[in-house]
Amino acid sequence: MADPISRADVEHVAKLSRLALTEDEVEHLTRELAGILGHAADIEALDLDDVPATAHPLPLVNVLREDEVRPSLDRAEVLAQAPLAEDDRFRVPRILGEAP
Amino acid sequence: MSEAEYEAVMGLEVHVELATATKLFCGCVNEFGSEPNTNICPVCLGLPGSLPVLNEKVVEFALRIGEAFHFDVPERSIFHRKNYFYPDMPKDFQTSQYDSPICADGYLEVDGVRIGIERAHMEEDTGKTTHVGGGGRIHDADHSNVDYNRAGVPLMEIVSRPEMHTAEQAKGYVSELRGILEAIGVSDVKMEEGSMRVDANVSIRPVGSDTLGTRAEIKNMNSLRSLGRAIEYEISRQVELVESGGRVVQETRHWDESAGITHGMRSKEGSEDYRYFPEPDLVPVAPTDAMRATARAAIGELPAARRERMVAQWGISETDARTLVESPGLAEFADATVAAGAPGKDVTNWLSGEVLAYLNETGLSLAVLPLTPGKLAELCTLVSDGTLSRNLAKDVLGECLREPKDPKAVVAERGLAQVNDEGELGALVDAVLAGNAETIEEYRNGDDKLRKKKRGFLMGEVMKASKGSGNPQVLNRLLDERLN
């Protein structure tokens, strides 16, 4: 069986998550992730044509709440816990990418 | 090839904020214009341990949309996480729907043409970033500040199929869509305030081809007019580009309203790589028959049916019906005025004329005017029973638009009532004629042209003598009786 995941895949996913990995870490994670995917492949080997995809393990649907206003948090208290705040807003570093 | 030898193809993505009391997954107030970061809680801030719970009103609104646009509503739909790296969502993902939306495969009729709608799905809105330094532009900024009041506000994203071909058609689609969303009460659909946002996917292809060209996605149009301008510009840009040997690249382009152009934004790296996966904190939505029946019952008359009814019952033109239906609140106001006893045609004339002009001029909304349907009906009666001429009625209406007064009270206060009494008006005519013997002489001996002129002069004097309150029809008749 071909490698379930390549080094390039791991590097790509790390980049999307803004993770800086060392060469050794990429090597190690490629092996680990391949193991996880190998486990998933065991399931793929079964005949599951009649089994609907499961999005949620609990047999529940329509867990809903009424459209009723609940109190929000105190702004000063919230912003005091932010790394940086300015002008009643959360201050974040310069944004380099585009809005999605 | 010239522009005429290309065909434009476009699809529209419309995001509409739902008019619920609270956000999509928490009880924070859904409100435009609050003080920054006052409507936030552990859920919409994505604090560890917090759990989202879906707002039932959002599901009801989504089902109304399902009904109004002829969508299939699958037995189940689920939420997904859309992962991306941008600080407008504190969770670093947006909860949205991906391959299992609540509404699939609907349509909308625009001027007799059916435009397919691929899907409509629920998702949460993002926070608002303000860029500090560098003239407020994102890439030159020193840093950014984020207000999360809007993060978690419920949205429906409504995605048309690429089935429109002109800017006019796209505007017609958005206009009809907006009218329906307003009529079914799910949103206040204000493009200017951002509660309705439209992105246009535009491509071109040679006439006769049936493959789609590469598309550009145009953003940042905040009115129907700018949507039309942006699309027209973009079509020309793509034709010129292809004609000069270039290729359209798939990208997001920003509409610059003041410059009247679109410009490309820095290309997104791995932009399609959102790593969607099913949201484990939310269970599937499975609309029951009861939920669907509630949504169906909540839908009032849709704009197309309303226009048809007004034309048939009131004898007004299709254009006037469109004006009423497309101006927020005007059609409801007209219906209420007719219910108060006024003829539909008169009501339409006042509303689409003086009232609409006043709203446009002042920028006010109908809801804040002191004029009520009852007062407008009273005004119509004052005209039909001869108390007021149309000109006087216009004055009275003007006052009722500005002040909380009844038309009858204005008439009494200003002594405006039209005089219909023939004895009184006859005396006035006699007095004017007595003082204008020379004019009468000229009238009697003149040719048609001179007669007309002299008669006009005398009528003017008579109106003046009645201080504008004489019934013009009666005065005309009395004058003619005496002159001939």
| Whether the predicted pLDDT of B8 surpasses 60 | yes
Q: Determine what percent of chain B is predicted with pLDDT higher than 90.
A: 68
Q: Mutation target for B interface from A19, A33, A54, A69: give the one with most B CBs within 10 A.
A: A69
Weakest-pLDDT range from A42-51, B25-34, B226-235, B365-374: A42-51
Weakest-pLDDT range from B36-40, B48-52, B173-177, B328-332: B328-332
- Scanning B71-110 for CB atoms below 8 A from A yields 76, 78, 82-88, 90, 94, 100
Specify whether the backbone of B112 is left (phi greater than 0), alpha (psi in -120 to 50) or beta.
left
* Cβ–Cβ gap B148/A90 under 8 Å: yes
In chain B, which residue's Cα lies nearest the Cα of A52?
A: B76
Weakest-pLDDT range from B131-135, B274-278, B290-294: B131-135
- Scanning B280-309 for CB atoms below 8 A from A yields 280, 282-286, 288
SS3 for B78-136 is CCEEEECCCCCCCCCEEEECCCCCCEEEEEEEECCEEEEEEEEEEEECCCEEEEECHHH
Closest-CA distance of chain A to residue B358, Å: 37
Q: Which chain A residues touch B143 with a CB distance below 8 Å?
A: 86, 91-94
- The pLDDT tens digits of the residues spanning B185-219 come to 999 998 888 899 999 999 999 999 989 899 999 99
**Residue B315, burial from CB neighbour count under 10 angstroms (0-12, 13-18, 19+):** exposed
pLDDT at A2: 59
- Domains of chain B: which residue ranges? 3-294, 301-414, 422-483
Is any Cβ of chain B less than 8 angstroms from the Cβ of A70?
yes
Closest-CA distance of chain B to residue A83, Å: 12
User: Residue A90 belongs to what H/E stretch?
Assistant: strand A89-93
Q: Mutation target for B interface from A12, A18, A60, A72: give the one with most B CBs within 10 A.
A: A72
Identify any residues that bridge with A64 across adjacent strands, giving them in sequence order: B54
Is any Cβ of chain B less than 8 angstroms from the Cβ of A12?
yes
More confidently predicted of B130 and B134: B130
* Cβ–Cβ gap A69/B278 under 8 Å: no
* Cβ–Cβ gap A78/B37 under 8 Å: yes
| Whether the predicted pLDDT of B269 surpasses 50 | no
Is any Cβ of chain A less than 8 angstroms from the Cβ of B146?
yes
Tell me how far apart the alpha carbons of residues A32 and A44 are, in angstroms, rounded to a whole number.
Answer: 19
pLDDT at A1: 47
Q: Mutation target for A interface from B146, B266, B276: give the one with most A CBs within 10 A.
A: B146
pLDDT at B14: 97
| Whether the predicted pLDDT of B272 surpasses 80 | no
Q: Which residue has the tokens 């009809």?
A: B176
- Assign domain B422-483 to its CATH architecture: Orthogonal Bundle (1.10)
ipTM of the complex: 0.88
Q: Mutation target for B interface from A13, A56, A68, A81: give the one with most B CBs within 10 A.
A: A56
Q: Determine what percent of chain B is predicted with pLDDT higher than 70.
A: 98
- Scanning B6-25 for CB atoms below 8 A from A yields 20-22
* Cβ–Cβ gap B271/A95 under 8 Å: no
Domains along the sequence of chain A with CATH = 7-44 (1.10.20)
